[in-house]
Amino acid sequence: MYKQRPAIKVVDGIFITAACLSTFLYGISYWFIVLTAVLTVTAFILPGFYAAGIAGGRLKICSYGNTILAVFPYTLLIVVPVFIASLFFHEQLTWKAIIIYACVTIGILNAYFWTGIIIVYLTSKQIGISKRLLGIFCGMIPVANLFVLSIIVKIAGREVREESERYWRNEARKADQICKTKYPILMVHGVFFRDSEHLNYWGRVPSELIKNGAVIYYGGQESAGDVRTCAMQLKKAIVKVIEETGAEKVNIIAHSKGGLDSRYCICMLGMAPYVASLTTVNTPHHGCEFAEYLMNNAPDKLRDTVAAAYNKGARLAGDKNPDFVKAVTDLTKAGVETLNAEMAPMAGQFNGIYTQSFGSKLNHAVSGKFPLNMSYHFVKHFDGYNDGLVGEESFKWGQDYHFLINKGIRGISHADMIDLNRENIDGFDIREFYIDLVHGLKEKGL
Protein backbone atom coordinates (compact mmCIF):
# COMPACT_ATOMS: atom_id res chain seq x y z
CA MET A 1 0.00 0.00 0.00
CA TYR A 2 1.03 3.59 -0.63
CA LYS A 3 2.52 5.29 2.43
CA GLN A 4 4.36 8.59 2.73
CA ARG A 5 7.43 9.03 4.91
CA PRO A 6 7.46 12.77 5.73
CA ALA A 7 10.59 12.49 7.85
CA ILE A 8 12.58 11.85 4.67
CA LYS A 9 11.87 15.40 3.50
CA VAL A 10 13.09 16.84 6.79
CA VAL A 11 16.26 14.75 6.78
CA ASP A 12 16.92 15.54 3.12
CA GLY A 13 16.49 19.24 3.81
CA ILE A 14 19.05 18.98 6.60
CA PHE A 15 21.56 17.21 4.35
CA ILE A 16 21.26 19.57 1.39
CA THR A 17 21.44 22.61 3.71
CA ALA A 18 24.44 21.16 5.54
CA ALA A 19 26.14 20.53 2.19
CA CYS A 20 25.82 24.22 1.36
CA LEU A 21 26.94 25.47 4.79
CA SER A 22 29.91 23.11 4.92
CA THR A 23 31.64 25.25 2.31
CA PHE A 24 32.52 27.73 5.08
CA LEU A 25 34.75 25.03 6.55
CA TYR A 26 37.07 25.06 3.54
CA GLY A 27 39.05 27.76 5.30
CA ILE A 28 39.96 25.22 7.98
CA SER A 29 40.85 22.44 5.56
CA TYR A 30 40.06 21.54 1.96
CA TRP A 31 39.36 18.03 3.19
CA PHE A 32 35.91 19.38 4.05
CA ILE A 33 35.22 19.28 0.29
CA VAL A 34 34.77 15.55 0.81
CA LEU A 35 32.14 16.29 3.47
CA THR A 36 30.28 18.58 1.03
CA ALA A 37 30.36 15.86 -1.62
CA VAL A 38 29.09 13.18 0.77
CA LEU A 39 26.29 15.39 2.07
CA THR A 40 25.28 16.39 -1.47
CA VAL A 41 25.22 12.82 -2.79
CA THR A 42 23.19 11.71 0.22
CA ALA A 43 20.74 14.58 -0.35
CA PHE A 44 20.26 13.41 -3.93
CA ILE A 45 19.66 9.80 -2.84
CA LEU A 46 17.21 10.29 0.05
CA PRO A 47 14.19 11.57 -2.00
CA GLY A 48 13.91 8.12 -3.54
CA PHE A 49 12.78 6.79 -0.17
CA TYR A 50 10.06 9.39 0.49
CA ALA A 51 7.13 7.02 -0.10
CA ALA A 52 6.52 3.30 -0.19
CA GLY A 53 4.10 1.46 -2.42
CA ILE A 54 4.38 3.77 -5.42
CA ALA A 55 2.93 1.99 -8.45
CA GLY A 56 5.16 1.88 -11.52
CA GLY A 57 8.52 3.28 -12.57
CA ARG A 58 7.15 6.55 -13.96
CA LEU A 59 5.46 7.46 -10.69
CA LYS A 60 8.51 6.43 -8.65
CA ILE A 61 10.69 8.78 -10.71
CA CYS A 62 8.07 11.52 -10.52
CA SER A 63 7.88 11.16 -6.74
CA TYR A 64 11.68 11.42 -6.52
CA GLY A 65 11.76 14.67 -8.48
CA ASN A 66 8.76 16.09 -6.66
CA THR A 67 10.30 15.43 -3.24
CA ILE A 68 13.36 17.42 -4.31
CA LEU A 69 11.17 20.33 -5.40
CA ALA A 70 9.25 20.19 -2.11
CA VAL A 71 12.49 20.44 -0.09
CA PHE A 72 14.14 23.10 -2.27
CA PRO A 73 12.27 26.25 -1.02
CA TYR A 74 12.97 25.45 2.63
CA THR A 75 16.66 25.09 1.88
CA LEU A 76 16.64 28.54 0.29
CA LEU A 77 15.10 29.98 3.47
CA ILE A 78 18.32 29.04 5.28
CA VAL A 79 21.17 29.33 2.79
CA VAL A 80 20.14 32.74 1.37
CA PRO A 81 19.90 34.51 4.78
CA VAL A 82 23.23 32.92 5.77
CA PHE A 83 24.83 34.35 2.65
CA ILE A 84 23.36 37.80 3.33
CA ALA A 85 24.50 37.67 6.94
CA SER A 86 28.02 36.71 5.83
CA LEU A 87 28.25 39.94 3.85
CA PHE A 88 27.70 41.94 7.05
CA PHE A 89 30.21 39.91 9.01
CA HIS A 90 32.85 39.65 6.33
CA GLU A 91 35.56 40.80 8.75
CA GLN A 92 35.27 37.44 10.52
CA LEU A 93 34.99 35.65 7.16
CA THR A 94 37.35 36.30 4.31
CA TRP A 95 35.98 37.35 0.96
CA LYS A 96 37.44 34.16 -0.40
CA ALA A 97 35.28 32.10 1.96
CA ILE A 98 32.17 34.10 1.05
CA ILE A 99 32.79 33.73 -2.69
CA ILE A 100 33.43 29.99 -2.33
CA TYR A 101 30.23 29.65 -0.31
CA ALA A 102 28.24 31.56 -2.93
CA CYS A 103 29.65 29.67 -5.92
CA VAL A 104 29.46 26.17 -4.45
CA THR A 105 26.00 26.78 -2.94
CA ILE A 106 24.64 28.13 -6.22
CA GLY A 107 26.07 25.10 -8.01
CA ILE A 108 24.60 22.60 -5.55
CA LEU A 109 21.16 24.22 -5.42
CA ASN A 110 21.00 24.63 -9.18
CA ALA A 111 21.82 20.97 -9.71
CA TYR A 112 19.31 20.00 -7.01
CA PHE A 113 16.49 22.16 -8.40
CA TRP A 114 16.99 21.35 -12.07
CA THR A 115 17.16 17.64 -11.33
CA GLY A 116 13.76 17.90 -9.65
CA ILE A 117 12.03 20.14 -12.17
CA ILE A 118 13.24 18.27 -15.26
CA ILE A 119 12.21 14.93 -13.81
CA VAL A 120 8.76 16.19 -12.81
CA TYR A 121 8.20 17.90 -16.17
CA LEU A 122 9.12 14.70 -18.00
CA THR A 123 7.17 12.23 -15.86
CA SER A 124 4.02 13.98 -14.64
CA LYS A 125 0.88 13.59 -16.74
CA GLN A 126 -1.25 15.89 -14.62
CA ILE A 127 0.86 19.03 -14.91
CA GLY A 128 -0.67 20.47 -18.06
CA ILE A 129 0.97 22.61 -20.72
CA SER A 130 -0.34 25.81 -19.13
CA LYS A 131 1.27 25.03 -15.77
CA ARG A 132 4.54 24.08 -17.45
CA LEU A 133 4.60 27.33 -19.39
CA LEU A 134 3.68 29.29 -16.28
CA GLY A 135 6.57 27.66 -14.46
CA ILE A 136 8.98 28.64 -17.24
CA PHE A 137 7.63 32.21 -17.43
CA CYS A 138 7.76 32.78 -13.66
CA GLY A 139 11.05 30.95 -13.17
CA MET A 140 13.13 34.11 -12.78
CA ILE A 141 10.54 36.18 -10.90
CA PRO A 142 11.16 36.11 -7.11
CA VAL A 143 8.24 34.98 -4.94
CA ALA A 144 6.13 34.25 -8.04
CA ASN A 145 8.45 31.38 -8.92
CA LEU A 146 8.03 29.83 -5.47
CA PHE A 147 4.26 30.21 -5.69
CA VAL A 148 4.13 28.41 -9.05
CA LEU A 149 6.55 25.81 -7.74
CA SER A 150 4.17 25.05 -4.86
CA ILE A 151 1.37 24.46 -7.39
CA ILE A 152 3.53 22.08 -9.42
CA VAL A 153 4.57 20.18 -6.28
CA LYS A 154 0.95 19.85 -5.19
CA ILE A 155 -0.25 18.55 -8.56
CA ALA A 156 2.57 16.07 -9.04
CA GLY A 157 2.37 14.86 -5.44
CA ARG A 158 -1.33 14.29 -5.75
CA GLU A 159 -0.81 12.39 -9.01
CA VAL A 160 1.67 10.01 -7.40
CA ARG A 161 -0.57 9.46 -4.38
CA GLU A 162 -3.86 9.00 -6.24
CA GLU A 163 -2.51 6.78 -9.02
CA SER A 164 -0.69 4.59 -6.52
CA GLU A 165 -3.77 4.29 -4.31
CA ARG A 166 -5.80 3.44 -7.40
CA TYR A 167 -3.36 0.70 -8.35
CA TRP A 168 -3.57 -0.95 -4.94
CA ARG A 169 -7.35 -0.54 -4.85
CA ASN A 170 -7.62 -2.36 -8.17
CA GLU A 171 -5.27 -5.07 -6.93
CA ALA A 172 -7.38 -5.57 -3.81
CA ARG A 173 -10.62 -6.02 -5.80
CA LYS A 174 -9.08 -7.77 -8.79
CA ALA A 175 -10.46 -11.18 -7.84
CA ASP A 176 -13.96 -9.75 -7.38
CA GLN A 177 -14.19 -8.62 -11.04
CA ILE A 178 -16.74 -6.03 -9.98
CA CYS A 179 -17.29 -4.81 -13.56
CA LYS A 180 -17.74 -8.24 -15.15
CA THR A 181 -21.31 -7.80 -16.34
CA LYS A 182 -23.47 -10.55 -17.81
CA TYR A 183 -23.55 -8.71 -21.14
CA PRO A 184 -20.64 -6.87 -22.80
CA ILE A 185 -20.43 -3.07 -22.67
CA LEU A 186 -20.87 -1.05 -25.87
CA MET A 187 -19.51 2.46 -25.42
CA VAL A 188 -20.99 4.98 -27.85
CA HIS A 189 -19.23 8.28 -28.52
CA GLY A 190 -20.75 11.69 -29.13
CA VAL A 191 -20.58 14.19 -31.98
CA PHE A 192 -17.35 15.49 -33.56
CA PHE A 193 -15.26 12.59 -32.31
CA ARG A 194 -14.45 9.09 -33.44
CA ASP A 195 -13.45 6.01 -31.49
CA SER A 196 -9.71 5.61 -31.80
CA GLU A 197 -7.34 3.00 -30.46
CA HIS A 198 -4.59 5.60 -30.04
CA LEU A 199 -6.68 8.50 -28.75
CA ASN A 200 -9.60 6.91 -26.93
CA TYR A 201 -12.69 9.10 -26.75
CA TRP A 202 -13.32 7.79 -23.23
CA GLY A 203 -9.85 8.60 -21.91
CA ARG A 204 -8.62 6.37 -19.12
CA VAL A 205 -12.07 4.93 -18.43
CA PRO A 206 -12.09 1.80 -20.66
CA SER A 207 -8.76 0.48 -19.38
CA GLU A 208 -9.95 0.96 -15.80
CA LEU A 209 -13.16 -0.95 -16.52
CA ILE A 210 -11.23 -3.75 -18.21
CA LYS A 211 -8.93 -4.07 -15.19
CA ASN A 212 -12.05 -4.71 -13.13
CA GLY A 213 -13.50 -7.35 -15.45
CA ALA A 214 -15.52 -5.44 -18.06
CA VAL A 215 -15.67 -6.53 -21.69
CA ILE A 216 -15.62 -3.36 -23.80
CA TYR A 217 -16.65 -2.64 -27.39
CA TYR A 218 -17.18 0.65 -29.22
CA GLY A 219 -20.01 2.06 -31.34
CA GLY A 220 -17.75 3.23 -34.14
CA GLN A 221 -20.35 5.51 -35.75
CA GLU A 222 -19.35 8.58 -37.74
CA SER A 223 -18.26 11.72 -35.93
CA ALA A 224 -20.65 14.02 -37.75
CA GLY A 225 -23.58 12.06 -39.07
CA ASP A 226 -27.27 12.62 -38.50
CA VAL A 227 -28.92 10.50 -35.81
CA ARG A 228 -30.63 8.14 -38.27
CA THR A 229 -27.40 7.36 -40.14
CA CYS A 230 -25.40 6.85 -36.94
CA ALA A 231 -28.15 4.62 -35.54
CA MET A 232 -27.77 2.33 -38.57
CA GLN A 233 -24.05 2.11 -37.88
CA LEU A 234 -24.74 1.31 -34.22
CA LYS A 235 -27.04 -1.50 -35.31
CA LYS A 236 -24.13 -3.07 -37.17
CA ALA A 237 -21.91 -2.64 -34.12
CA ILE A 238 -24.43 -4.39 -31.86
CA VAL A 239 -24.79 -7.30 -34.27
CA LYS A 240 -21.00 -7.60 -34.49
CA VAL A 241 -20.60 -7.69 -30.70
CA ILE A 242 -23.26 -10.37 -30.34
CA GLU A 243 -21.65 -12.47 -33.08
CA GLU A 244 -18.15 -12.15 -31.60
CA THR A 245 -19.09 -12.78 -27.97
CA GLY A 246 -22.08 -15.08 -28.28
CA ALA A 247 -23.91 -12.84 -25.81
CA GLU A 248 -27.64 -12.38 -26.17
CA LYS A 249 -27.56 -8.64 -25.49
CA VAL A 250 -25.33 -5.63 -24.84
CA ASN A 251 -25.24 -2.88 -22.23
CA ILE A 252 -24.94 0.48 -23.95
CA ILE A 253 -23.22 3.45 -22.31
CA ALA A 254 -23.59 6.48 -24.55
CA HIS A 255 -22.29 10.02 -24.23
CA SER A 256 -23.83 13.20 -25.65
CA LYS A 257 -25.32 12.69 -29.14
CA GLY A 258 -24.47 8.99 -28.80
CA GLY A 259 -27.45 8.71 -26.47
CA LEU A 260 -29.79 9.92 -29.23
CA ASP A 261 -28.16 7.56 -31.73
CA SER A 262 -28.69 4.67 -29.31
CA ARG A 263 -32.32 5.51 -28.55
CA TYR A 264 -33.15 5.69 -32.24
CA CYS A 265 -31.34 2.42 -32.91
CA ILE A 266 -33.36 0.64 -30.22
CA CYS A 267 -36.71 2.24 -31.02
CA MET A 268 -36.72 2.37 -34.77
CA LEU A 269 -34.27 -0.26 -36.02
CA GLY A 270 -35.41 -3.35 -34.16
CA MET A 271 -32.48 -3.62 -31.75
CA ALA A 272 -34.56 -3.65 -28.54
CA PRO A 273 -34.33 -7.47 -28.10
CA TYR A 274 -30.54 -7.20 -28.14
CA VAL A 275 -30.10 -4.41 -25.58
CA ALA A 276 -30.16 -5.11 -21.85
CA SER A 277 -29.64 -1.52 -20.69
CA LEU A 278 -29.06 1.98 -22.00
CA THR A 279 -27.18 4.51 -19.91
CA THR A 280 -26.90 8.01 -21.36
CA VAL A 281 -24.31 10.47 -20.10
CA ASN A 282 -24.84 14.21 -20.67
CA THR A 283 -27.14 13.55 -23.63
CA PRO A 284 -29.39 16.40 -24.88
CA HIS A 285 -32.62 14.38 -24.79
CA HIS A 286 -34.66 17.56 -25.20
CA GLY A 287 -32.24 19.43 -27.44
CA CYS A 288 -30.05 22.50 -27.07
CA GLU A 289 -31.58 25.92 -27.53
CA PHE A 290 -28.08 27.37 -27.78
CA ALA A 291 -27.31 25.14 -30.78
CA GLU A 292 -30.62 26.12 -32.36
CA TYR A 293 -29.83 29.82 -31.94
CA LEU A 294 -26.46 29.37 -33.65
CA MET A 295 -27.91 27.40 -36.55
CA ASN A 296 -30.69 29.94 -37.09
CA ASN A 297 -28.60 33.07 -36.73
CA ALA A 298 -25.14 32.24 -38.03
CA PRO A 299 -24.50 33.77 -41.48
CA ASP A 300 -24.94 31.19 -44.22
CA LYS A 301 -21.47 31.79 -45.57
CA LEU A 302 -19.85 31.26 -42.16
CA ARG A 303 -21.91 28.14 -41.49
CA ASP A 304 -21.10 26.65 -44.89
CA THR A 305 -17.40 27.44 -44.55
CA VAL A 306 -17.17 25.80 -41.11
CA ALA A 307 -19.19 22.81 -42.32
CA ALA A 308 -17.03 22.31 -45.42
CA ALA A 309 -13.82 22.52 -43.40
CA TYR A 310 -15.06 20.07 -40.79
CA ASN A 311 -16.44 17.59 -43.34
CA LYS A 312 -13.12 17.59 -45.19
CA GLY A 313 -11.20 16.85 -41.99
CA ALA A 314 -13.72 14.21 -40.91
CA ARG A 315 -13.26 12.30 -44.15
CA LEU A 316 -9.54 12.20 -43.52
CA ALA A 317 -10.26 10.86 -40.02
CA GLY A 318 -12.43 8.03 -41.33
CA ASP A 319 -15.97 9.36 -41.80
CA LYS A 320 -17.51 8.12 -45.05
CA ASN A 321 -20.20 10.75 -45.44
CA PRO A 322 -19.86 13.47 -42.77
CA ASP A 323 -22.50 16.17 -42.58
CA PHE A 324 -21.74 18.86 -40.03
CA VAL A 325 -25.02 20.72 -40.54
CA LYS A 326 -27.24 17.65 -40.16
CA ALA A 327 -25.36 16.51 -37.06
CA VAL A 328 -25.77 19.86 -35.32
CA THR A 329 -29.37 20.25 -36.50
CA ASP A 330 -30.27 16.96 -34.82
CA LEU A 331 -29.00 18.42 -31.54
CA THR A 332 -31.11 21.56 -31.63
CA LYS A 333 -34.31 21.81 -29.63
CA ALA A 334 -36.44 21.55 -32.78
CA GLY A 335 -34.32 18.72 -34.14
CA VAL A 336 -34.62 16.60 -31.01
CA GLU A 337 -38.33 17.36 -30.73
CA THR A 338 -38.74 15.92 -34.24
CA LEU A 339 -36.76 12.83 -33.29
CA ASN A 340 -38.69 12.37 -30.04
CA ALA A 341 -42.00 12.67 -31.88
CA GLU A 342 -40.85 10.05 -34.37
CA MET A 343 -39.76 7.69 -31.60
CA ALA A 344 -42.75 8.27 -29.29
CA PRO A 345 -45.06 5.65 -30.86
CA MET A 346 -42.29 3.08 -30.40
CA ALA A 347 -41.60 3.88 -26.73
CA GLY A 348 -42.82 0.41 -25.79
CA GLN A 349 -39.63 -0.97 -27.31
CA PHE A 350 -37.90 0.01 -24.06
CA ASN A 351 -40.06 -2.32 -21.98
CA GLY A 352 -37.68 -4.76 -20.35
CA ILE A 353 -34.64 -2.55 -20.96
CA TYR A 354 -33.14 -0.79 -17.95
CA THR A 355 -32.68 2.91 -18.74
CA GLN A 356 -30.90 5.62 -16.82
CA SER A 357 -29.39 9.02 -17.54
CA PHE A 358 -26.71 11.21 -16.02
CA GLY A 359 -26.00 14.91 -16.33
CA SER A 360 -23.47 17.25 -14.73
CA LYS A 361 -22.99 20.91 -13.91
CA LEU A 362 -20.03 23.11 -14.70
CA ASN A 363 -19.86 25.66 -11.88
CA HIS A 364 -17.91 28.44 -13.61
CA ALA A 365 -16.85 29.14 -17.17
CA VAL A 366 -13.20 29.66 -16.22
CA SER A 367 -12.96 26.13 -14.85
CA GLY A 368 -13.88 24.52 -18.17
CA LYS A 369 -11.29 23.68 -20.80
CA PHE A 370 -11.47 25.27 -24.24
CA PRO A 371 -13.98 25.65 -25.88
CA LEU A 372 -16.38 24.97 -22.98
CA ASN A 373 -15.02 27.98 -21.11
CA MET A 374 -16.27 30.12 -24.01
CA SER A 375 -19.65 28.45 -24.53
CA TYR A 376 -20.72 28.16 -20.88
CA HIS A 377 -22.33 31.61 -20.50
CA PHE A 378 -24.06 31.41 -23.88
CA VAL A 379 -25.55 28.02 -23.02
CA LYS A 380 -26.55 29.31 -19.59
CA HIS A 381 -28.43 32.20 -21.21
CA PHE A 382 -30.54 29.80 -23.28
CA ASP A 383 -30.55 26.55 -21.32
CA GLY A 384 -29.78 27.48 -17.70
CA TYR A 385 -27.35 25.48 -15.59
CA ASN A 386 -25.24 23.38 -17.93
CA ASP A 387 -22.09 21.36 -18.48
CA GLY A 388 -20.69 23.83 -21.00
CA LEU A 389 -22.82 22.48 -23.87
CA VAL A 390 -26.08 20.93 -22.62
CA GLY A 391 -28.61 22.40 -20.18
CA GLU A 392 -29.71 20.56 -17.04
CA GLU A 393 -33.31 20.01 -18.13
CA SER A 394 -32.20 18.30 -21.32
CA PHE A 395 -30.36 15.49 -19.50
CA LYS A 396 -33.46 13.94 -17.96
CA TRP A 397 -34.54 10.62 -19.46
CA GLY A 398 -35.15 7.00 -18.52
CA GLN A 399 -36.15 5.19 -15.36
CA ASP A 400 -33.44 6.76 -13.20
CA TYR A 401 -31.91 10.21 -13.51
CA HIS A 402 -28.80 11.46 -11.70
CA PHE A 403 -27.53 15.03 -11.75
CA LEU A 404 -23.88 15.26 -10.71
CA ILE A 405 -22.73 18.31 -8.77
CA ASN A 406 -19.20 18.90 -7.54
CA LYS A 407 -18.47 21.51 -4.89
CA GLY A 408 -15.86 24.15 -5.45
CA ILE A 409 -14.99 26.34 -8.40
CA ARG A 410 -14.74 23.75 -11.13
CA GLY A 411 -17.80 21.54 -11.26
CA ILE A 412 -18.01 18.79 -13.92
CA SER A 413 -18.04 19.63 -17.61
CA HIS A 414 -19.32 17.83 -20.71
CA ALA A 415 -15.73 16.85 -21.52
CA ASP A 416 -14.94 15.78 -17.94
CA MET A 417 -17.64 13.11 -18.22
CA ILE A 418 -15.57 11.26 -20.82
CA ASP A 419 -12.18 12.01 -19.26
CA LEU A 420 -11.29 13.93 -22.41
CA ASN A 421 -8.42 15.81 -20.75
CA ARG A 422 -7.20 12.84 -18.65
CA GLU A 423 -7.33 15.17 -15.66
CA ASN A 424 -7.76 14.27 -11.99
CA ILE A 425 -10.50 16.53 -10.64
CA ASP A 426 -10.87 17.57 -7.00
CA GLY A 427 -13.97 15.95 -5.53
CA PHE A 428 -14.88 13.85 -8.57
CA ASP A 429 -13.17 10.68 -9.75
CA ILE A 430 -14.35 9.99 -13.30
CA ARG A 431 -12.86 6.48 -13.43
CA GLU A 432 -14.51 5.42 -10.20
CA PHE A 433 -17.76 6.94 -11.46
CA TYR A 434 -17.81 4.53 -14.39
CA ILE A 435 -16.67 1.61 -12.25
CA ASP A 436 -19.61 2.26 -9.91
CA LEU A 437 -21.92 2.63 -12.91
CA VAL A 438 -20.91 -0.67 -14.49
CA HIS A 439 -20.83 -2.42 -11.11
CA GLY A 440 -24.42 -1.24 -10.66
CA LEU A 441 -25.36 -2.92 -13.94
CA LYS A 442 -23.71 -6.12 -12.74
CA GLU A 443 -25.64 -5.94 -9.48
CA LYS A 444 -28.84 -5.77 -11.53
CA GLY A 445 -27.85 -8.96 -13.33
CA LEU A 446 -27.26 -7.19 -16.65
Question: If pLDDT is split at 50, 70 and 90, which confidence band does 205 have?
Answer: very high
End of a domain among 133, 168, 203?
A: 168
**How do residues 287-312 score in pLDDT, each as one tens digit?**
988 888 778 887 888 888 888 888 88
Least confident segment among 120-129, 189-198, 233-242, 333-342 = 189-198
* Same domain (yes/no): 289, 355: yes
Share of the chain above pLDDT 70, in %: 93
Does 234 reside within a domain? yes
Determine the pLDDT at residue 198: 62
* Same domain (yes/no): 161, 186: no
The average confidence (pLDDT) of the chain is 88
Does 109 reside within a domain? yes
Question: If pLDDT is split at 50, 70 and 90, which confidence band does 372 have?
Answer: low
* Same domain (yes/no): 218, 325: yes
pLDDT > 80? residue 378 = no
Distance of CA 23 to the CA centre of its chain: 46
Question: If pLDDT is split at 50, 70 and 90, which confidence band does 436 have?
Answer: very high
Does 173 reside within a domain? no
| Strands 216-218 vs 250-255: parallel, antiparallel or unpaired | unpaired
End of a domain among 146, 168, 190?
A: 168
* Same domain (yes/no): 237, 355: yes
Determine the pLDDT at residue 92: 63
Determine the pLDDT at residue 270: 92
* Same domain (yes/no): 302, 282: yes
Does 258 reside within a domain? yes
CATH number, residue 323: 3.40.50.1820
* Same domain (yes/no): 119, 15: yes
- Which run of H or E residues covers position 401? strand 400-404
* Same domain (yes/no): 220, 367: yes
* Same domain (yes/no): 362, 223: yes
* Same domain (yes/no): 276, 416: yes
Least confident segment among 15-19, 84-88, 129-133, 337-341 = 84-88
Determine the pLDDT at residue 387: 87
Determine the pLDDT at residue 167: 93
**Number of structural domains found in the chain:** 2
pLDDT > 90? residue 370 = no
Range of the domain at 8: 3-168
Is-contact 383 338, C-beta < 8 A?
no
Q: Which residues contact 288 (CB under 8 A, 6 or more apart)?
A: 331, 332, 333, 379, 382, 383, 389, 390, 391, 394
* Same domain (yes/no): 200, 152: no
* Same domain (yes/no): 182, 224: yes
Does 237 reside within a domain? yes
* Same domain (yes/no): 212, 330: yes
Helix, strand or coil, per DSSP, at residue 186: strand
Does 238 reside within a domain? yes
Determine the pLDDT at residue 305: 85
Question: If pLDDT is split at 50, 70 and 90, which confidence band does 79 have?
Answer: confident
End of a domain among 168, 201, 234?
A: 168
Give the Cα separation of 201 and 421 in Å (integer): 10
CB atoms within 10 A of CB 388: 28
Omega within 30 of 0 (cis) for the link into 371: yes
